Chain A
C-alpha cells in the first residue's frame, strides 16, 4: 500500500512574496508530513540510495526511525556519516544522487529523502542536537585548511577518531561556500549554517578564522613550527572566471562571486550592514549553473529586473531543476541560445547594454552535448546597467604556489588520489581544490575519505 501514496508535497513561500525578501523559500516538512512521507520508503534490502550518497548516509535506517516517530534516533543515524545534514537536506542535488536512484522513482516519484533529512536535522537542532560519540584524545595535531564542506567533514571525522584538529579559515566566518556562496533564501546562515558549524566545534575542533594559509602561515610552518602531523587542504575553488570579451572592466560588471559574497557573507542585503552592493535597474546574469540562479534571484530580491543569458538550451542548463523552476516562478526572464560578445558602456564608462549573438545547437561535442554555434549576423543588444558573470570558478593558486612539492594540474587543481593523498607526504586534499567547482556533498565525501586516509597514514 505504501507506494499508493504520492510524494508528500513540500510547502513553499509564495513566489510573488518571496521575490521581495530573503526569507527561506522552502518551509520543509512538519512532523505529520514527515511521518507520511517516511511511510513511502520500501526499506529495500539492497538500498541503491545509500550507494548513491557521496557520504554513504544509512538512508533507509534513518527513514525507518522517522516512520517510528523516533526523530532523535533518526538524527543519530545521519550523524554517523554527515556533520551537515541541515545543509545537505537543503542544497544537495538529491535528484541525481539518492532520490535519483530510489526504486520508487522508476514508476512514480522517489521518496523525498532530502526533505526528510532536512526535517530530521531541523528537529534535532531545535531539540538539543545529537550527543556525539568520540574516541579518547590521542594528542596528535592535524590541520585543516578551509572551513567549507570538505574541511568540516574531514575535521569532524578526525575529531571523532580522537585527533586534535584545527581548521584555518581565511574569511572572518567559518563555512566557506556555505557562507559566501549560497544565499540566505536557500540556506539560512544564523538558523542553519552556524549551528551546524557549532556542532563541529562541539566535537573539539578548533576553528581559527582570518588565517591566510600561504601568507599568514605556510603549510611548511604548520609542520615545522606548529607541530601538525598531517594537513588536509580543502581550500575550494574561489577564483572567478570572466569571459574575456571587451567591456568586462566597465563599472557595473561583477563576478557572481563578488555579488554573492557582498550579499551572503557581508549581508549587504540587510540595511544594518556597512557593505555596499550595486543594485542595477536591469541586470543580465551570464551563465546557467546554480551560481547563476543564486545571483539572479539575489538581484531580483534587491529590486532589479533580471534576465539570465545562457548559450545553450534549457535542457543543458547545469543548474538543478528545482532552482530553475524557482527562478522562473519568481519572475526571472531566461534568454537561451544567447551568448554575450561585448559589454557596452556609456560615455562615463558605466554599463548600458550587453551585446549578444544568437546561437544554435550544432554537432555533439566530446562530452556528448551539442555545442552551440553562433548564427552569423544575429547580434543584438539587451539594455542593462549591470552584468553579473557566473561562468564558474577555479582553485586559488595561493597554497599550491607556496607549498614545495605540491603538484597541481594545468587548471590549478591540486593533484590527489581517491583518498586525497597528494604528491607531498602528509598533505591531503579534497573538494573543489582538487576537482574544480562541484557540489557541497561531493566535497564532504572527499573530506571523509581523506580523514580515513589521514588516520591510516598517522597510525602506520
Chain B
C-alpha cells in the first residue's frame, strides 16, 4: 500500500500529498509522471511528479478537483493509502542529459498555468540547483488559486505572477507577460510551458516568431501509461506519437494542439455523469 504521509489543501480545490513509494522516489526525474488509483474500483489517473525525497522514499503530488476521480483522490487523508501508485512514467526532461557545467548560466523561462505549477517546480529546482538562470511565470484565475508560491520563489531568479482578475501580480494572461519580458529585452535559451492545453497553445503562438525553443508537457488521456493503449496519441510534426512513452514533453512548435484539445473531450459526457453521481452520493 502507498501511504499518504502528508496532506495539505493548498486551495479549497487543490491538494498536495506526500506518498510513500520508495522505488519510484529513488528513480524519479524532472519531467516524469506517475499514475495513481484511489480505490480498488478507481480509474488510473496520471499526475505529474511535483517533487521527490529519495531519503524518505516519498514523492509529492498535487491534485486539483475537476471530476469524480480527482475528488476521490483529494478525499484521502494523511495516514490513508492509495490503492496503487506506479511510475516514474514517461521520459525525463531533455535537460537532465545536459552536463551540469553546460547548464550553468543557461537561461530558462518557465510558463506555468494553474496546476501546471506543480510539474514546473521540480524542473526549476533541478536547474536552479545546477546554476542555471530560471525565470518563472505563474498564471492563475485569481490569487487564491496560486499554489507553491513560496517554494517556487526559492528555486528561481524571478517569479512573475499573473492573475486573470488582477488580484495579484500582472493583471492578465501569461502570454501578455511573455511579450512584456521579451519586449523589455530579456533573452532565454529555452522556454518550457506546462498547464492547460489551451494555454500551451497560446504560449506557442506567442513565442512562434521569437526563435526561442519551446518545450510543452502534454497531459493526455491514457489508461496504462506504458505505451499499451495508444489513447494518448497525438500528432507531432505530422507523426503520431504516444505521449506516455515518447513524451510527455515535446517540441511545442510541432504539436498539433487543435487535435490534442479535441481528443481531451472524448470522455467528457461520461465524466460529467460520473461527477454528478459522485456528488449526489457524498452530499
Contacts and interface: CB of A to CB of B under 8 A. Distances in A.
Interface of A: 170-172, 180, 209-212, 215-217, 238-240, 242, 248-249, 251-252, 254-255, 257-258, 261-262, 265-267, 272-278, 348-349, 396, 398
B251 interface: no
B125 interface: no
A207 to B, nearest CB: 14
Contacts of B229: 240, 255, 257-258, 261-262
Contact of B43 (A210, A212, A240, A275): A275
Given A249-B234, A257-B230, A274-B274, 5 more contacts: A170-B86, A171-B224, A251-B265, A272-B41, A348-B262
B68 A274 contact: yes
Contact of B227 (A171, A242, A278, A398): A398
Interface of B: 23-24, 27, 32, 37, 39, 41-44, 68-69, 72, 83-89, 223-224, 226-231, 233-235, 240, 245, 259, 262-263, 265-267, 270-271, 274
Contacts of A252: 266
25 contacts: A209-B84, A209-B86, A210-B85, A212-B89, A215-B89, A216-B88, A238-B224, A240-B228, A242-B233, A249-B235, A254-B230, A255-B230, A258-B223, A261-B228, A265-B223, A266-B43, A274-B68, A274-B69, A274-B274, A275-B43, A275-B44, A275-B223, A278-B267, A348-B262, A349-B259
Most buried by B among A172, A242, A248: A172
Given A249-B259, A266-B223, A276 B270 contact: yes
Contacts of B39: 274
Nearest to B88: A215
A332 to B, nearest CB: 23
Given A172-B83, A210-B86, A216-B23, A274 B42 contact: yes
Contacts of A180: 224, 228
Contacts of A275: 43-44, 223
Contacts of B24: 216
A396 B230 contact: no
Contacts, number: 118
A10 B103 CA distance: 69
Contacts of A170: 86, 224, 226
B67 to A, nearest CB: 10
B44 to A, nearest CB: 7
Contacts of A238: 224, 226-228
Given A249-B235, A274-B68, A396 B227 contact: yes
A240 B228 CA distance: 6
Contacts of B23: 211, 216-217
A251 B263 contact: yes
Nearest to B266: A251
A305 B270 CA distance: 20
A209 B40 CA distance: 14
Nearest to B32: A215
B228 A172 contact: no
B87 A276 contact: no
B41 A216 contact: no
B43 A274 contact: yes
Contacts of B68: 274
